[in-house]
Amino acid sequence: MMNILQKKVMSNQTFTKKKFLKLDIKKQHKKLSEIIRQIYEKILLKQYTEHLFNHYFQICNWIGIDLINTEDLKEISDRYHFHLKKADVSLKEHNLLPVLRSIDGKNKELPFLENAIYLDGLRSAFNVGNIIRTVEALRIGKIYFDERTPFIENEKVQKTSMGSYQLTKCENQFDLKDLPRPFIGLDTSDKSISIHEFIFPEKFTLILGNEEYGISNKMLKEIDYLIEIPMLGFKNSINVASAFAICSNEIRRQKI
């Protein structure tokens, strides 16, 4: 089955020259940025891109834009940013090349750890996508989504994960009792242990809570340990995806 992003690109390919040229300039460049984004994700996964490049070049000819080198990733990235600027689009995350370098790095065959990452009522697809990227980049484990958390068919999750959702094991149908013990909650509490003092066991389930309320009461009853990132400033906590990235780096550091 085609995912949402693939369907969007297929709809882009139905444009005739007459129909496309009727769009205002911002919409034209937004459509072109979507095609370039799809090209990037397929390059990332080493998939066929010739048909997308052909369609992109056809539209470039329609509006008088120079063509790009299909093998130059920097040029593809620069063109993507060019279209975003022309479309007056500002995305929270739209860098291309840094992700290509990390995905294509020397450790891309490194196996995932046998941990579970449990997403407990997260609301933001942006946060979920970033968590998936971190899990894939550091090979932290397998991700389990509760029923309130946006799953990987969500378009915003797919975009923010930058293709990582296709490289990471994600589940939304499972039994909580099958997840590995101990259950470790990442949250602020008077009873929390610093991540720098906590020794992560061989296998465990790390629980990430809601952006506003933290870990749910239901999951707090299941938790064996609470850990936190020491805060030095005025604020008591940081964004859940950022906190997970810091914690994941400590987990990976202890496992090397």
SS (H, E, C) 156-179: HHHHHHCCHHHCCCEECCCCHHHC
Pairing type for strands 183-186 and 225-228 reads parallel
pLDDT of residue 91: 58
Half-sphere CA count of 185, side-chain side, radius 13 A: 21
**Is the CB of residue 147 less than 8 Å from the CB of residue 172?**
yes
Environment class of 194 (CB within 10 Å of its CB; exposed 0-12, middle 13-18, buried 19+): exposed
**Is the CB of residue 241 less than 8 Å from the CB of residue 134?**
yes
Can you read off the two tokens belonging to residue 36?
Answer: 């370039």
Task: Check residue 69 and report its DSSP letter.
Answer: -
Mean pLDDT, 10 residues at a time, the chain of 256 residues:
44 72 92 88 80 92 90 82 86 53 58 96 96 96 97 95 93 96 93 92 96 93 94 85 96 87
pLDDT of residue 61: 93
Task: Give the C-alpha separation, 112 to 89, whole Å.
Answer: 35
Please tell us whether the domain made up of 110-255 is placed in CATH 3.40.50.300: no
pLDDT of residue 11: 46
For the chain, which residues make up each domain, given as ranges?
4-101, 110-255
pLDDT of residue 76: 85
**Is the CB of residue 222 less than 8 Å from the CB of residue 133?**
no
Q: What is the largest CA-CA distance in the chain?
A: 65
pLDDT of residue 9: 42
Can you read off the two tokens belonging to residue 171?
Answer: 């589940």
pLDDT of residue 3: 45
Task: Give the C-alpha separation, 115 to 140, whole Å.
Answer: 7
**Is the CB of residue 151 less than 8 Å from the CB of residue 170?**
yes
Conformational region of residue 121, where left means phi above 0, alpha means psi within -120 to 50, and beta covers everything else: left
Task: Give the C-alpha separation, 118 to 9, whole Å.
Answer: 32
Counting every residue written for the chain, the total comes to 256
